[in-house]
Amino acid sequence: GAGVSQSPRYKVAKRGQDVALRCDPISGHVSLFWYQQALGQGPEFLTYFQNEAQLDKSGLQHGPSDRFFAERPEGSVSTLKIQRTQQEDSAVYLCASKRNSATDTQYFGPGTRLTVL
Amino acid sequence: QKEVEQDPGPLSVPEGAIVSLNCTYSNSAFQYFMWYRQYSRKGPELLMYTYSSGNKEDGRFTAQVDKSSKYISLFIRDSQPSDSATYLCAMSYNQGGKLIFGQGTELSVKP
């Protein structure tokens, strides 16, 4: 009974390094979301895919600026890439998937905890 | 000012107490309202989902939405130690769209 899985669960990076975070959504789920959750805060939206199409990347454009990129080339697995990591990027990165664009329930993965030193 | 405001707590109650959690929001365009529960080092899981104003009950949980006041609430009856977690309110403009979360309220239910 596979839920959303994310890897790695924990990542430590030195400032300036590039990192790649992976999300495996629930099989057959069309929609995929990425959120960033800082310590003691609620998740904040980063980007949204429907199949392989990135339909909303507004959260990548004016929070983390142009160092954050996401892709989902075959409409299943997704990767969130962070270039030139900064200390303020330290957070838990959550992935969520749902069956299709009309359904309501987003199922979240356990997250990847990124620490930038 | 954030679109969704939620008191972060922490909130500590004895087992069996009634817990009241709430959020306020500023954007009247929100149509869908949710409560998520998040255990430590886990992802959020959906507890309650409501559309527009009104009440919804599910077991020990009741969600209320008052759109005229831009105020939503979650009530937990007969609270249990297993209810200890962070409770996040979330809202969206359209069905199935991105979620806007509150800060989360940390709840501890003491045996």
What's the maximum distance between 2 C-alpha atoms anywhere in chain A? 41
> What pLDDT does B71 receive?
95
Structure token pair of residue B77: 């009856």
> What pLDDT does B51 receive?
84
Q: Which residues of B touch A100 (CB under 8 A)?
A: 96
Q: B72: which strand partners?
A: B23, B65
CB contact under 8 A, B96 and A43: no
| Spatial separation of the C-alpha atoms in residues A117 and A12, rounded to whole Å | 7
Q: What does the pLDDT look like over B67-102, one tens digit per residue?
A: 999 999 999 999 999 999 999 999 998 877 899 999
Among B32, B43, B96, the residue with its CB nearest the CB of A108 is B43
